Structure 1
Amino acid sequence: MFRRLKNLIKGFVGLFISGLEKANPRALIEAEKENLRQQIARFNDNLATHAGFVERLMRQIKNQEKEEQDLAAKTAAHLKLGHRQTAGQYALRLKSLRQQLEENRAQLEQAEQTYQKLLKARDVSVREAQQKIDALKRMISEAEMLEAQAELQEMAQGMISSIGGAGDTLSRVEEYLTERRDKAAGRARVAAGSIDSSQVELMEAEQEALGDQALAEFAAAYGLEMPAAEAAETAAAEDRGEAAPPVKDLGPAVPES
């Protein structure tokens, strides 16, 4: 049970860390760069230790080469002097030294090759890691740029939708106003059609008769003579700027018998 609970907690922690890594890729890259620097530092320490071993071998070989020359000279000198036993001892030491010298030279060659391989491996690994980091940085920049473009396109699409919605609203307002105008025109037409023209003409005739009556009363009161109907029509036409009605010609007068 505790193992299952432990696995569950580890799973939640892993999901939380994965979410943080996805949300902060730059921080993750910086952490990897720091980790790479630490690994390079440790590798350089080990490489320096190996280089120190190579230097010790080189120094030991130089000392052995000097000792070889010294033993060879002593062996030759004692041999010339006839000291065979002493010369033999120096010869044995020289032989053993030469064997050690050959072994050290072989170790030095192998150590030098190993050092060069390690140095090359370090440079290649660092260069490859740097290339990956640079590629990830470019990917982050591209992702951010594409996200910005997508956001702008979504905003533009939203603006287009908003403008389209406003256009629909204006169309509805125009439709409402057109309907209102047509309805008002119809009401006016119905009201105009409901007026009785005969009644209007009757009222107009009554007003004209009342006007003539009032005018006659006025003329009688002031002792004025009322003009004849034809003269009145002619004067009214002249006042309106119209031509006077033509005088009807009834032909020549017939003489009385």
Structure 2
Amino acid sequence: MFTRIANLFRGFLSLFIKDLEKRNPEALLELEQENLRAQIASYNQGLANHAGLAERLIGQVRKLEAEEREVRARTTAHLRAGNKAAAAQNALRLQTISRELAENRAQMEQAETTYKDLVRARDVAVQAARAKIESLKGAINDMRMKTAMAEMNEMASGMIGSIGGSGDTLNRLHEMVEEERNKAAGRARVARDSLDLTDINLKEAEMNALADQALADFAAAEGISIEDGSANPEPAPAQRSMGAKPASEGESA
């Protein structure tokens, strides 16, 4: 029972961590870069140890080469001097040195070859890892950009659906405005049809008649013809003075 509960807990924890990794790929990539740097440092440490071994072998080869030349010279000298026993001992020593020198040379060449192979393998692995990291960076950036574009497109699609769809707020507002406008137009028409213009027309005719009469009186006083607007050539009759007597028929003018 406890094992099943532990497995269930590990499963939930794994799902939670996986979800976090999906949400934060940059953090996971940065962690992998740190791991790569740590691996390169550890690999370089081992490579340095191997290089030290190769350098020791080189030093041993050089030492044996010098000793071989020295023993060879002594063997030759003893042999020419007739010291066969000493020459034989040096010859035996020379064989041992030559055998050790051959073995050390083989080990040195193998160590050098291994070192070069390790360096090349490191460089290839690092280049491949860096290329993959750069590719992942580009993929993450592209993912972020496409995710943002998708969210913007979804938002735009939602806006278009909410604004242009039937039964939305703008359509209801448009219908309400049209309804109120039609009601206002109907009220204006009813008010216009119910307006009594009889008194207004009568008053307007009376005002026009008074204006025409005033104009006629003014034209008559000034001696101006209303039809063509010219002055009347005949003089206006002179008015009698108060208290004057009319002339008799027998009197001459």
Asked if TM exceeds 0.5, the reply is yes
Q: Using structure 1 for the length normalisation, give the TM-score.
A: 0.69
CA distance in 2, matches of 1:155, 1:16: 28
2:108 corresponds to: 108
- The secondary structure found in structure 2 opposite 1:85 is helix
CA deviations on 1:134-184 (whole Å, 9 max, x unpaired) are 111111111121222223323333443454345523431344135425654
CA distance in 2, matches of 1:170, 1:6: 60
- The secondary structure found in structure 2 opposite 1:106 is helix
CA distance in 2, matches of 1:119, 1:240: 121
Q: Using structure 2 for the length normalisation, give the TM-score.
A: 0.70
In the TM superposition, residue 127 of structure 1 has moved relative to its aligned partner by 1.1
CA deviations on 1:70-124 (whole Å, 9 max, x unpaired) are 0100110010011112111111111111111111111111110100000011111
Gaps of 5+ in 1: 205-236, 243-257
Amino acid at match of 1:169: R
In the TM superposition, residue 19 of structure 1 has moved relative to its aligned partner by 1.4
Amino acid at match of 1:149: M
In the TM superposition, residue 22 of structure 1 has moved relative to its aligned partner by 1.2
2:245 corresponds to: none
1:52 corresponds to: 52
- 2:124 is the alignment partner of 1:121: no
Amino acid at match of 2:140: I
1:29 corresponds to: 29
1:71 corresponds to: 71
Q: CA RMSD in A?
A: 2.9
2:174 corresponds to: 171
Higher normalized helix content (fraction of residues) = 1
The residue correspondences of 1:216-227 to structure 2 (distance < 5 A) are: none
Cα gap change, 1:103 to 1:238, in 2 (>3 Å):
closer
CA distance in 2, matches of 1:238, 1:151: 79
The residue correspondences of 1:154-193 to structure 2 (distance < 5 A) are: 154-164=154-164, 165=168, 167-177=170-180, 179-181=182-184, 184=187
CA distance in 1, matches of 2:97, 2:210: 158
- The secondary structure found in structure 2 opposite 1:21 is helix
- The secondary structure found in structure 1 opposite 2:46 is helix
2:148 corresponds to: 148
CA distance in 1, matches of 2:103, 2:174: 100
The residue correspondences of 1:193-208 to structure 2 (distance < 5 A) are: none
Gaps of 5+ in 2: 200-207, 214-253
1:61 corresponds to: 61
